[in-house]
Amino acid sequence: MKTFYTFSSVLLAVGFGLTACEDHRLSPNASFPERINFVAQRQYPEGFAYSAQLDRFLVSSITQGKVGTVDVNGNYADLIAPPELISSMGMRVADGRLFVCNADQGVSTKSTPQTTRKTAELLVFNIASRQLERRVDLDDLYTSPAHLANDLAVQPDGTVYVTDSFAPVIYKVMPNGQASVLVENPLFASATFGLNGIVYHPNGYLIVAVTSAGKLYKVDLKNGNAISEVGGLPNLPGDGLSLLNGDLYVVTGSGSQVAQLRSTDDWKTATVVKRDTEGYSQATTNVAVNGSIYSLNARIGEISAAMGDASKLQSNTYSIQKFR
């Protein structure tokens, strides 16, 4: 059992009250182009968010365990690089805090034999102070030969849900930091890469992508966490997910496109209403900003191609693409 510390636990629990909402829906001080190119040395930024507080996109780093910012002009700067963060994966911003999935695929400068393919954690940072406020161990909650915390969703009351791509579970972290397994199901199991993107729907359920199966599932939080496949869809190996104006945007096609999905029956079924295939290459995830969807071209395919050899990961150029 790993031992972790928690900062300002009482204040954090109060802060995670009923006002928790993502800090990226509207940023009137910024004008967003259709494409933003940026340079960040060996960043490999799998996770992506936006902070109106900083007026910047936030990008993670699989290889360096840090988080950086990118402005609308493509200027990159490091934001945080704490020693606890091995590989920063999925991220969300809510109530002035940055929620980050911490994992280890064995290609980070901080990777060790003890943490490689065995790490699933949730780290919470105060954006203003850049300080770590909470670190929650998740991998000890479920016995599995491998773990990888991939993506997360934040409920309005501050509850966080985290997917594990190497174990068939979704974790739940309460506003006070108490963690548990929300659901475990063989539908989420995979010999390669299982659970991936996740979103919280305001009607009280989660939508998650299982990449290897090419399917989306609904987890009904108001009905005993009942799990059902979202029907009516073609094979859709999903990565990152974002909701905007009731539609779901899915990074798919090995990061070569974003599919816009729509449902008329509360996501019992859905249809693909549009696919945007221009401007995407090895994309991972997306975020809603000012009424538009932006996706991150992260060179994610190079991670698996490196076969665990971090010296092969030397790319410095990345981009952010608007859905059209």
* Pick from 113-127, 158-172, 204-218, 299-313: least confident: 299-313
* Confidence (pLDDT) at 187: 98
User: What are the backbone dihedrals phi and psi of residue 2, each rounded to the nearest 5 degrees, phi first?
Assistant: -80, 145
Average pLDDT of every residue of the chain = 92
pLDDT above 90 covers a percentage of the chain that reads: 88
Whole-angstrom distance, CA of residue 223 vs CA of residue 172: 16
DSSP string, 234-301: -------EEEETTEEEEEETTTTEEEEEE-SSTTSB-EEEEEE-SS-SSEEEEEEETTEEEEEE--TH
Domain ranges of the chain: 21-226+285-322
Total count of residues recorded for the chain = 324
Using DSSP, state whether 140 is helix, strand or coil. helix
| Spatial separation of the C-alpha atoms in residues 139 and 282, rounded to whole Å | 28
Torsion angle (degrees, nearest 10) of CA 52, 55, 56, 57: 30
Mean pLDDT to the nearest integer, 189-212: 97
Sign of CA dihedral 321, 40, 30, 82: positive
pTM here? Answer: 0.93
Which 3 state secondary structure label does DSSP give 89? strand
CB atoms inside a 10 Å sphere around CB 281: 15
Whether 97 shows a pLDDT value over 80: the answer reads yes
- CATH fold for domain 21-226+285-322: Neuraminidase (2.120.10)
Whole-Å CA distances, 174 to 98, 156, 179, 199, 225: 16, 12, 6, 16, 16
Question: How would residue 308 be classed by pLDDT, with cut points 50, 70 and 90?
Answer: confident
At 28 the pLDDT is 54
Q: Is the pLDDT of residue 13 over 80?
A: no
**Pick from 239, 246, 208, 226: which is nearest to 301 by CA?**
239
Q: Is-contact 287 98, C-beta < 8 A?
A: no
Q: How far is CA 128 from the centre of its chain?
A: 21
Q: Report the pLDDT averaged over residues 132-161.
A: 98
Residue 88 has pLDDT above 70, yes or no: yes
pLDDT in tens, 229-265: 999 999 999 999 999 999 999 999 999 999 999 999 9
Specify the range with the lowest mean pLDDT, choosing from 8-17, 253-262, 296-305.
8-17
Determine the pLDDT at residue 249.
98
Contact 286/240 with Cβ under 8 angstroms? yes
